[in-house]
Structure 1
Amino acid sequence: MKTARGFTLIEVLVALLVFSIIATVAAQMSSQYISTYERVRDKTFAGWVADNRINELRLQESLPPVSVTTDDIEYGPFRWQVRTSVINTQDPAIRRIEVAVGKFRGDGSEPPQLHSLSAFIGAD
């Protein structure tokens, strides 16, 4: 007489439990990876936007006037808010530039600042 071979119900349940734990951990890891990717991507774009703004000011013929401006721009697939502060220094031939960049979210709220960059521009 042959005995029946196979898995018992408890063995099947333990295997399902192990598989579900592995699947849950894998889903959490992939979610963290996506969040990290998006954060790094946004900070990289914001850095490029700030660099571009400072270089635009450096390429002007004269020193930029002391001011604070806020511009909304499209860069890459996103909309950005660029706040540029031009500040006097003790030397009248030098200006301090501070650029703060935020990425618009889809909800219409004020974009959070992702990157800031400071530089000095001098008259030739």
Structure 2
Amino acid sequence: MSRAPSDLGFSLIEALVALAVFAMAGVGLVQLQTHSLQTLSQVETRALADIVAQNALVELVAGAVPPAPGQRAEAQTFAGRDWQIVTQVTPAGDMLRVSVAVSSASDATPAARAHAFVAAGAS
């Protein structure tokens, strides 16, 4: 039995539908990749900010003289980025509570925070 000429291959409509399906899948993959890159950038920023916060906290706690109560802000460059470090020292009985908040120089929202207690009379 011979086939009719219309049964020999894909029609133009079938090819266009298949192309549209593959195009939508491709767009979805590109959006997924974009989201992954944004998430990676956020995680990297938080990880670096946490390192900066921990370093600042260790410098304050390990000093020979306990930090003075109050708030101070400073800028620092780490890993090729500029960071804003805000340190808050508050009395807590016979201890001092030291809080460090680190944010990117371009963003006021802290990306990392670290806290510690140090004896008020000695380190």
Superposition TM-score tier, normalisation by shorter sequence: 0.7 to 0.9
Deviations 1:10-56 (A, max 9, x none): 11101111111110110111011111101111110111011000100
- Structure 1 gap segments, 5+ residues each: none
What percent of counterpart residues are identical?
28
1:13 matched residue in structure 2: 16
Deviation at 1:104, TM superposition (A): 2.1
Q: In the TM superposition, what are the counterparts of 1:92-111 in structure 2 within 5 Å?
A: 94-105=95-106, 111=108
Normalising by structure 1, what TM-score? 0.86
Deviation at 1:116, TM superposition (A): 1.2
Aligned-partner Cα distance in 1 for 2:97–2:31: 44
* Structure number with bigger Rg: 2
State the one-letter code of the partner of 2:101.
A
2:76 to 73, 92, 109: 73
Aligned length in residues = 118
State the one-letter code of the partner of 2:110.
Q
- Tell me whether 1:59 sits opposite 2:62 in the alignment: yes
- Tell me whether 1:121 sits opposite 2:102 in the alignment: no
Aligned-partner Cα distance in 1 for 2:111–2:18: 45
Q: Secondary structure at the match of 1:113?
A: coil
Regions of 4+ moved over 4 Å: 1-4
Q: Secondary structure at the match of 2:86?
A: strand
Deviation at 1:62, TM superposition (A): 1.2
- Tell me whether 1:50 sits opposite 2:53 in the alignment: yes
- Tell me whether 1:36 sits opposite 2:36 in the alignment: no
Over the residues paired in the alignment, what is the CA RMSD in angstroms?
1.8
- Tell me whether 1:112 sits opposite 2:109 in the alignment: yes
Normalising by structure 2, what TM-score? 0.87
Q: In the TM superposition, what are the counterparts of 1:17-28 in structure 2 within 5 Å?
A: 17-28=20-31
State the one-letter code of the partner of 2:99.
E
